[in-house]
Structure 1
Amino acid sequence: MPQTAPSSLDASHKLPAKQILGVDLLRFFASLIVMCFHLCFFVWAGGPGATARTAAKSSVQFPELRFFEFGSVGVQIFFVISGFIIAYSAHGSTAYDFLRGRFVRLVPAIWLIAPLSFAALLAVNAEPVSALIVKLVKSLLISPFGPWLDWVYWTLPIEIAFYGLVYLLLLLKRFRWLEGSIIFVGGVSTIFWLARRSWSFLTGEPLLNLPHERVMELMLICHGCFFAVGVLIWLLIFDRSTTWRWISLSFVTIGCVAQNGAFIGACIWLASVALLYMSAKFNYVFRDQKKALAVARTLGLTTYPLYLLHNAVGGALMGYLVRMGLDPYPALGLTLVAMVLAAACIAIAAEPIAQRVFRSIFDLFGGLVFARVWGRKGFSQT
């Protein structure tokens, strides 16, 4: 398509680092509704593999809170935010710095919290010790295939698959290909979901028996449309607005709604995407609101530890409180508050120390050899 203005995607300078207040708040909101999905709904309505239900070890019932079944849409919101944030942070970065930044952001929190989840599940005799140890190792190594200590880990390898795409473009010094690459990935994902939903609607049967659906998730076929929405919003706001980009955004948005499949969940997701766009577009309004920015930043940093912590540890805590005689609803309230406070403490006090340690380790060993050599020097443009 003809270009009406020069793109800045290959600019050597990096966009100025700037906190986007709305993004931090949206991340925290997504983590809250995921937590409520697990601790208010899935803890009693989930199957035998539901981590919170396994950890709770009690017949906690919250039928009045069934509407929190739509809280699972928080994961889809996370994927959109990830697409936006990764595009934002990768612009002007080297492959080495990008890989280092993702490693330091992703891994330390896991190594802090996975042992806590292990201890919580061990305390309630959730499984044999040997099985828990295997799951702990798979969680610490972010194994692409479960079972993990906590099923919230299923999203992390998918995130890493998206990071891998961006990393490859940086490695090749072809970051300008991000738009075409993500539109292709999002388009394939959208076509997949439209075909799947259409077939089910017409026949009442699944389109395919997908024994390898996890592989399709890791190939971004299942969730690529969400990452595409985030990247396209970033392009529209920080590069330029074009008709082609709006058409692409509309198409992959249809795929996201098709994947969601529930009216209320789709509405929550659409409202969140609109908020993401508006908050990034008009972020300048809050540039002088120092206190609001500081609070939002703290909430944003709390998001990832809360996501990793709440399911196993929160479920075990709530089950313990109920078994000690506390009514279920007060037990739920105390658990929700405790999880947020614990996650905030980890984000503020423990995680920065762990990140410094892991950053030093990464720099000491140079990450991967090809990341150090090629990521810093890059390939020739010829």
Structure 2
Amino acid sequence: MSQGRLNEIDLMRFVAALAVVFFHYAFRGVAADDMSLMGYPALAPVARYGFLGVQLFFMISGFVILMTAARGSLRAFVVSRVVRLYPAFWACCTITVLVTLAIGGTRFSVTLPQYLANMTMMSEFIGVESIDGVYWSLFVEIRFYAMVALLLVLGRIHQAPAFMVAWLLASLALTLFPVEALRRLLATDSAAYFVAGAACYLMWSNGLSRGRVAMLLASWTLAVFQTARWVPQFEAHYGTTLDMRVLVAIISAFFAAMLLVSLRLTGAFGARRWVALGALTYPLYLLHQNIGFMLFNLAWPANPHVVFWGTLALVLAVSHAVHVLVERRHAARFKAWAEAAWDGGVRLAGRVRAYALAKYPTAP
């Protein structure tokens, strides 16, 4: 079937990003961790559910990443991820550092070693604190990319459905019988959403089947089960209460929306181009949290309506600038560099292997 652009995915990305922004700005900043002096009580009862926007991101990634990997080329997969993630991340991380140095006050600070470690996008894996807490989801994404890359290395990407089922089962087992190191390694709290997105991609590309529907239903079941177990921790940390019925409804809406995409039943939403909104999503997600809180704290106790909506407009504008001036302007050049770096690495590995074989020939 056609591998054309899915316009509705751009819209869903933007909705997910806005949900997270409202969660942080209207609820999270003042609810816990002493990050912000200003909340937005008018939106807080709804915004407190916005954290689920990250789970929608993971579903979309499950769909898109499997689509990217389906070509079977490890080189194309790695290059596409590097080009997609790093330029905007470098720009947004640098902007956040500059704003922190200027107006971070006592709540936000950064050091040069921390900045350099963060620029690798591997800070969590080397034990360095993230400059902005939203980066946590990138590390979950990277774990998923590594799993898919391993399938490509092994030449088993066609067996991705079996891997996804095994991942679901492992996640359920580790939810019931936690082993923290394995839970983190396998990103078990997010697996259901990645697998759901992958199942939807398989339906979109290859049609419905009982196995794919079963995979989607199993993912939904695990997602709801894990959410129910996790809610008390959320409520205790943020001093609030969540309605499990609302949570289930939101999660179900995500699954229903992705299913409609997979069945090509999105109608006008799929026919209309949402590229401009989709382009804002990644920079907006990376930029909004700490910078928004710092602006809130700087402006406090000014009119909260002006500060809230003004800050949102500002981070949207800066996100657009990052897309235009960094992502769009330098994408082709950065892709060429990434491809050259990959090819150079492959040649170097070949020379090292040839040298090793010549110096230490295997016994007959």
TM over 0.5: yes
State the 1:28 CA deviation: 0.5
1:241 aligned partner: 208
Measure the CA separation in 2 of the matches of 1:219 and 1:138: 23
Please list every run of at least 4 consecutive aligned residues from structure 1 whose deviation after the TM superposition is greater than 4 angstroms.
126-131, 283-289, 370-374
1:7-30 superposed Cα distances (whole Å, 9 cap, x missing partner): xxxxxxxx6441212211111000
Q: Is the 8 A contact 2:100 2:108 kept in 1?
A: no
2:338 aligned partner: 362
1:315 aligned partner: 293
1:114 aligned partner: 93
State the 1:260 CA deviation: 2.2
Measure the CA separation in 2 of the matches of 1:303 and 1:237: 23
1:62-119 superposed Cα distances (whole Å, 9 cap, x missing partner): 3343221111001111111100111112212411011000010011111010011111
Measure the CA separation in 1 of the matches of 2:344 and 2:191: 26
- Of all paired residues, the percent bearing the same amino acid is 24
- Alignment partner of 1:24 is 2:10: yes
- Alignment partner of 1:216 is 2:183: yes
Q: Which of 196, 199, 217 is matched with 1:232 structurally? A: 199
- Alignment partner of 1:189 is 2:171: yes
Q: Which of 317, 330, 333 is matched with 2:309 structurally? A: 333
- Alignment partner of 1:166 is 2:144: no
State the 1:174 CA deviation: 1.7
1:305 aligned partner: 283
Task: Return the letter of the residue paired with 2:67.
Answer: Y
Normalising by structure 2, we get a TM-score of: 0.82
1:250 aligned partner: 217
Distance 1:350 1:184, change over 3 A: same
Segments of structure 2 that go 5 or more residues without pairing to the other structure are 229-243, 351-364
Distance 1:264 1:137, change over 3 A: farther
2:234 aligned partner: none
State the 1:319 CA deviation: 2.6
- Alignment partner of 1:136 is 2:115: yes
State the 1:285 CA deviation: 4.3
Q: Which of 55, 78, 85 is matched with 2:64 structurally? A: 85
Distance 1:89 1:365, change over 3 A: closer
Measure the CA separation in 1 of the matches of 2:159 and 2:213: 17
Measure the CA separation in 2 of the matches of 1:104 and 1:25: 21
State the 1:366 CA deviation: 2.0
Distance 1:135 1:367, change over 3 A: farther
Q: Is the 8 A contact 1:187 1:251 kept in 2?
A: no
Q: Is the 8 A contact 1:185 1:220 kept in 2?
A: no
Task: Return the letter of the residue paired with 1:171.
Answer: V
- Alignment partner of 1:34 is 2:34: no
Distance 1:328 1:132, change over 3 A: farther
Residue correspondences, number: 331
**What RMSD over aligned residues (CA atoms) do the two structures have, in Å?**
2.7
- Alignment partner of 1:100 is 2:76: no
Distance 1:90 1:283, change over 3 A: farther
1:62 aligned partner: 40
Measure the CA separation in 1 of the matches of 2:347 and 2:312: 40
127-136 or 275-284, larger mean C-alpha shift = 127-136
83-92 or 237-246, larger mean C-alpha shift = 237-246
Segments of structure 1 that go 5 or more residues without pairing to the other structure are 1-14, 197-207, 375-382
Give the SS at the match of 1:32: helix
Measure the CA separation in 1 of the matches of 2:10 and 2:313: 19
Task: Return the letter of the residue paired with 2:19.
Answer: I
Give the SS at the match of 1:163: helix
